[in-house]
Amino acid sequence: MDIEKTLSEMTVEEKAALLSGTDFMCTNPIPRLGVPQLLMADGPHGLRKQKESGSTGVTRSEPATAFPTAACTASGWNPDNLKKMGEAIAEECRYYGVNLLLGPAVNLKRNPLCGRNFEYFSEDPYLSGVLGAAMVEGVQSRGVAVSLKHFALNNSENYRFMGNSVASENTIRKLYLRPFEYIVKHAKPATVMCAYNKVNGTLCSENKWLLNDILRDEWGFEGLVISDWGAVSDRIASLRAGMDLEMPGDTAVCRRQILDAVSDGSLPEEVPNRACRRILDLVDRFSLPPEKKAPDWKKHHMLAAEIAADCAVLLKNDGVLPLTGTEKIHITGELFESMRYQGAGSSLINPTDLTTPADAFSAHGIRSVPLAESDLVLVFAGLTDFCESEGCDREHMRLPEDQLREIDGLLQSGKKLIVVLFGGSPVELPFCDRVSAILSMYLPGQNGGTALYDLLYGLKNPSGKLAETWPLRYEDVPGGEKFSQKINEVYAEGCEIGYRYYNKHNVPVRFPFGYGLSYTTFEKTDWTQDGNTWTQTVRNSGSRFGAEVAQLYIDGELRGFEKVYLEPGESKTVAIMLKPEPETAYSDAYTVPPEPARYPVTLESRFTDFQQSFMGRMLYRFLLSIAGKMERDTRRKTRDLPDGPEKDNMQKGAFFLRKVIENNSPRSLSMSAGSKLPYNFAQGFVELTNGHFFRGIACFLKRIKVPKLPKDQY
């Protein structure tokens, strides 16, 4: 494509259309000029391509491989896992005609209660950056673009649509921007997705300091900036700030703003031209035709198990593991048959296959025996689908009460207990000292059952290391008492999150960052320095093949790592070269603005705040009734369905929708819904809630007129 020629022949109306998405997951084509559309799809750990064009749901998607989530893959400390996973996901994208994958997600784990932590790698920016870069390289090596997200300081869910992240420049630059910086400089992602929230009072979609001054001018990013779905407020301000493509689009108000601003001269045409140029470049580079040959689904299923086994973390073992196959085992816990293998929300994948622990045990002839007959007990516990989800933050760090009661009861039997944990985040483990072994699978993907069997019976040796600290109790988490409670999310702890905080203040933890046991033993020399190179020798001093991670910390921060796989008696010397980093001093100052008044409500208010007036309560109940109807319909539709991915995904989708509505704002919901909830309707709801009946009616009657989209003109 001759981009400059195409741009010169485009009308202002076509440019305004190109700057906006359409049909929820596509860019706008310009048929007159032969500009095709690009198709996007979630997500970070597998493909979620909707079956129906323009669908906003999260349940009806094409079959794809559900790989382990980032919370799991990060524990592998192995970039090759992410590269291979990215390549496989890209193959599936090419088969389904998807040009742009919305991931990876590299926001830091500031607090263990964040409902979306299962999608994020680590509390450490360097580890997150290295793993994220590997995935970007893997995906883009197969001709599929990525969208690095969510830029930036998007570290909680309750107020993510309208929250204001308040932090010092020192905290922002030295911690929260570092994963993005590493990936932009080392892997060159095609696009970056800006987050919903504000940073120090300015929406990310309108934040010139983030999108231009840092991302483009300092880091040299040459790609496209797209919005998160519904993250745009003022389209002109976002264009000026460097936010190119508004998603999901089909918002008449944004096109109208562009057309009017160009027409009256308040927006120089070079501003939309610059964004259009970037979009055309993306289309030109990544509008590849679908691959006719289907991916090797079985191979991808096995790759999912291979990665899950490499990433599982053995947290405790008194010698009971690995099992020999001769033990009589009492097996209990709902997650044995209903394995939790992925999270809930926009990354919900329709798996091509599913191997649960029950499936794997059955295939190998392993049967549960009664408790008064067992040698030991195997308990499957963890966070269920409704304990953690995108769209809301967890209320506490405990396991479900029924699981805790069951474990306590089993301990009374005097039997040895092995606890297998599933979940996307750390949990409190009050029983830790009384059980014999704990194996954390995190969220291991669709073939987690195979990985688990291989680990328990010693066919694979656990080698995962925690990519986040597991506190003894939530009360020990820095700033935990104020996390995700108000619109102004104040990062008062500065850079002291995760292991930085616990180590500096000598706070005991359940399991530290970088921790993980093995069935073999390793000996490591101290790190030695020769100029810019640091070396350490690792030796497998045990009797089993296994892997260890050499971790280099300087001044209390992770600066390098390498995972080495060693036969018994084998040694390897790890060499890590560090480039000198210039010391730059940034301000630790920040200003906490007053919390906005809850009433009168605005376009930025949470829908939960609408309940302060009669009309607001009516609107809020109406919105929740939509979600409630979906949940009731889901219960009815799934009543006779067998347990499995279809039933689980439908139930999780209904739960996710309700949480998203509760925590959303009229502006963001309108921008996400496009023509289904026009902007003037959102304005009308706000006016009615505030008691302005006639103003509200006027808003409903005020239609925003725009030309037909280019795709509809032919």
Q: Distance between CA atoms of 467 and 515, rounded to whole angstroms?
A: 8
Q: What is the pLDDT of residues 628-638, one digit of tens each?
A: 777 777 777 77
> Please, what's the b/e burial string for 434-452 (b: 16 or more CB within 10 A of its CB; e: otherwise)?
ebbbbbbbbbbbbbbbbbb
How many other CB atoms sit within 10 Å of the CB of residue 524? 14
Q: What is the pLDDT of residues 243-302, one digit of tens each?
A: 999 999 999 999 999 999 999 999 999 999 999 999 999 999 999 999 999 999 999 999
Cα Rg of the chain (Å, integer): 26
Element (H, E) at 682: helix 679-689
How many other CB atoms sit within 10 Å of the CB of residue 489? 26
Within its chain, how far is the Cα of 172 from the centroid? Answer: 19
Bigger pLDDT: 656 vs 20: 20
Q: Which of 23, 124, 228, 250 is catalytic?
A: 228
- Exposure of 410 by Cβ count < 10 A (0-12 exposed, 13-18 middle, 19+ buried)? buried
Return the amino acid letter for 343.
G
Please provide residue 683's backbone torsions phi and psi, each rounded to the nearest 5 degrees: -60, -40
Q: Distance between CA atoms of 546 and 523, rounded to whole angstroms?
A: 12
Check residue 659 and give its pLDDT: 79
Average pLDDT over residues 289-316: 97
Average pLDDT over residues 431-437: 98
> Please, what's the b/e burial string for 100-139 (b: 16 or more CB within 10 A of its CB; e: otherwise)?
bbbbbbbbbbbbbbbbbbbbbbbbbbbbbbbbbbbbbbbb
Tokens of 424: 């996307």
pLDDT above 60 (res 596): yes
Check residue 252 and give its pLDDT: 96
pLDDT above 80 (res 645): no
Cβ atoms of 66 and 342 within 8 Å: the answer is yes
Tokens of 254: 């944004």
Short-list 348, 294, 345, 297, CA closest to 46:
348
DSSP characters over 187-202 = H--SEEEEPSSEETTE
pLDDT above 70 (res 29): yes
pLDDT above 70 (res 54): no
Check residue 200 and give its pLDDT: 98
Check residue 622 and give its pLDDT: 86
Average pLDDT over residues 452-470: 98
Domains plus CATH for the chain?
35-53+60-244 (3.20.20.300), 304-565 (3.40.50.1700), 607-712 (no CATH)
Res. 583 pLDDT band, cuts 50 70 90:
confident
Check residue 631 and give its pLDDT: 72
Roughly what angle, to the nearest 10 degrees, separates helices 297-311 and 448-456?
A: 50
Check residue 340 and give its pLDDT: 94
Average pLDDT over residues 546-560: 97
Check residue 389 and give its pLDDT: 86
CA distances (Å), origin 40, targets 145, 183, 287, 395, 545: 9, 20, 11, 33, 42
Check residue 59 and give its pLDDT: 62
130-134, 238-242, 466-470, 702-706: which range is least confident on average? Answer: 702-706
pLDDT above 80 (res 132): yes
Res. 58 pLDDT band, cuts 50 70 90:
low
Pick left, alpha or beta for residue 203 (phi over 0 → left; psi -120 to 50 → alpha; otherwise beta).
beta
Helices (H), 227-269: 235-241, 252-263
Average pLDDT over residues 331-360: 94
Check residue 544 and give its pLDDT: 97
Average pLDDT over residues 540-568: 98
Mean pLDDT for all residues in the chain: 95
* 228 noted as active-site residue: yes
Q: What is the pLDDT of residues 652-684, one digit of tens each?
A: 777 777 778 888 999 999 999 988 899 999 999
